Structure 1
Amino acid sequence: MKLTQDQIDEFNREGFLFIPEAFSPEEVDALREASDEIFAEKREEIWYEKSGVPRTAFACQRYNEAFRLLGRHPRLIEPVEQLFGEKLYMHQFKVNAKAAFAGDVWQWHQDYVTWQNDDGMPEPRAMNISVFLDEVMPINGPLMLIRRSHTHGAIKAGHDTSTTAYPLWTLDNDTVAKLVAEGGIAAPTGKPGGLLIHHGNLVHGSAGNITPYPRKIVYLTLNAVSNAIRTPTRKEWIAHQDFAPIEPVDDDALVRYARSRHREAAE
């Protein structure tokens, strides 16, 4: 999938781009079923909230076929290759869950600061591209993005190891207030299958979910091959160290997988 020039201009200006319903209901159903299976397991790669509900499943593209296909899907790989102008490798793959009634916050942060501090990533030539697995609504903890905050580069952050179960390099309230006064906040919402791309330096966060509506989003962190991490400190399933360029699968790979699963279930 190639971006139009207008979409590229919007991304460069605002720091993000949202494409509604980029994946079909059939494709999303296969991914949602896969995520339910994964979160039912007990694995080292699954991080939990302090309350005990799942927060993040890392590296599930390595042991689940639906997510393996998504991790090589041309609708995700090609736009980022287009923006960076080179081949990519998978720096990180995760499914973030906001459980109904119990999903915790993600504090205000820039992704690149973590990649730089914890993984030794040289430049902000990596970004997240994500797919909504559930409907994302204004009420169930949508991702909030501070428009045009990516233009400020990497901003000084503090290492927050206490607010949630997951340690994060976060920004102070005064900095966030100044950035919001300049750019305002966007919170993309939409049906399952929506696709969101955002710059590695775009400041973002999300509130907790106290509604009955769960919100799961799968994230691919794609890094330019020339920008491979130098000094990783985190486990390899959090910050991957296989720098081989991603070779995309066919565009209909997820559909074919979903239909083969349905045939197997019917036999």
Structure 2
Amino acid sequence: MKLTQDQLDQFETEGWLLLPELFTPEEVDLLRREAVAIYDEQRPEVWREKDGAPRTAFAAHKYNEAFRLLGRHPRMIRPVEQVFGESVYLHQYKINAKSAFTGAVWQWHQDYGTWKRDDGMPEPRAMNISIFLDEVMPINGPLMLVPRSQTAGDLEASHDLETTSYPLWTLDEKTVTRLVEQGGIVAPTGKPGSMLMFHGNLVHGSAGNITPYPRKIVYLTLNACSNHIRTPTRPEFIAHQDFAPIQCVDDDALAKLARSGQKAAA
């Protein structure tokens, strides 16, 4: 799996890139079923909205075989290695729920701001890559991105501990307005199995989901090994401290598991 020069140029300029339907329906069906089962578990890695609906599940690669394979899948790992020019390790792994009718907002923010302040990450040489497990539509709370905002660098932020159940370093309205006037807003949508990758400093957020259509997305934060975190303050299941380079599995590993009929829980 290699990005073309045009794709690399888009990522460099716009700060994001969407690869439609990179994973097959067979692979996505397996991951979707496993995600629903994980949300039903009562464990510290599963965080919930204030009304009790699932918000996100951390570190699924440590207790679920399907998500372990996804976290080492070459279709996810190789493009990021290509962008950074070196091996990467897994800094964070989460499955965001955005449940039907109850999925809450994610405020406007930059991911690197959190990684720097909470985890001691030296540089923005990490990025989020995400796999759509459900169809992401304009109506069910898609991720909204501010193109080219990554060029603004690391912006001043405040720690929001009140809006949702998940604490976040958020941007003020004046800053977001200024950046949107320069770059606009895009909301990448696509079928299940599509993969979105975006720069660690790209400003983004999402509205709540008041539709009957859930919007589950897997997020891997991949960090260049040379850029490993120095002063983590969050639990290890949120900010991982195994800095070994990811060793990819075979490209058909997920498909084989789906066909095996075996229980995916590790």
Mapped pair 1:110 → 2:106: no
Name the residue aligned to 2:143.
143
**Letter of the 1:80 counterpart:** V
Instruction: Give 4+ residue runs of structure 1 displaced > 6 Å after superposition.
Output: none
Q: Residue 193 of structure 1 aligns with which residue?
A: 193
What do the CA deviations read for 1:178-203 (whole angstroms, capped 9, x no partner)? 00000000100011001000000000
Could you tell me which runs of 5 or more consecutive residues in structure 1 were left unpaired when the two chains were aligned: none
Match of 1:226 in 2: 226
Provide the C-alpha distance between the structure 2 equivalents of 1:40 and 1:261, rounded to a whole number of angstroms.
21
Using the alignment, how far apart are the partners of 2:13 and 2:53 within structure 1?
37
- 2-structure distance, mates of 1:36, 1:207: 22
State how 1:23-34 maps to structure 2 within 5 Å. 23-34=23-34
Aligned equivalent of 1:173 = 173
1:63 partnered with 2:63: yes
**Mapped partners of 1:2, 1:109: distance in 2:** 29
CA deviation after TM superposition for structure 1 residue 81, in Å: 0.2
Distance in 2, matches of 1:190 and 1:130, equals: 12
Q: Which residue pairs with 1:87 in the alignment?
A: 87
* Cα displacement string for residues 166-189 of structure 1 (whole angstroms, at most 9, x for unaligned residues): 000000001000000000001000
Match of 1:121 in 2: 121
For residues 246 and 195 of structure 1, the distance between their equivalents in structure 2, rounded to whole angstroms, comes to 19
The CA distance in 2 between the partners of 1:100 and 1:129, in whole Å, is: 23
Q: CA deviation at 1:114?
A: 0.1
Compute the displacement of 1:80 (Å): 0.2
Q: How does 1:2-81 map to 2 (within 5 A)?
A: 2-81=2-81
Paired residue total: 264
RMSD of aligned C-alpha atoms?
1.0
Give, in angstroms, the shift of residue 261 of structure 1: 1.5
Render the CA deviation track for 1:73-98: whole Å, top value 9, x for unaligned: 00000000000000010000000010
Instruction: Write out per-residue CA displacement over residues 13-61 of structure 1, whole angstroms, 9 at most, x where no aligned residue.
Output: 0000001100000000010011011011111001110011000000000
In structure 1, distance between residues paired with 2:188 and 2:20 = 9
* TM norm structure 1: 0.98
Q: Which residue of 1 aligns with 2:97?
A: 97
Q: Which residue of 1 aligns with 2:244?
A: 244
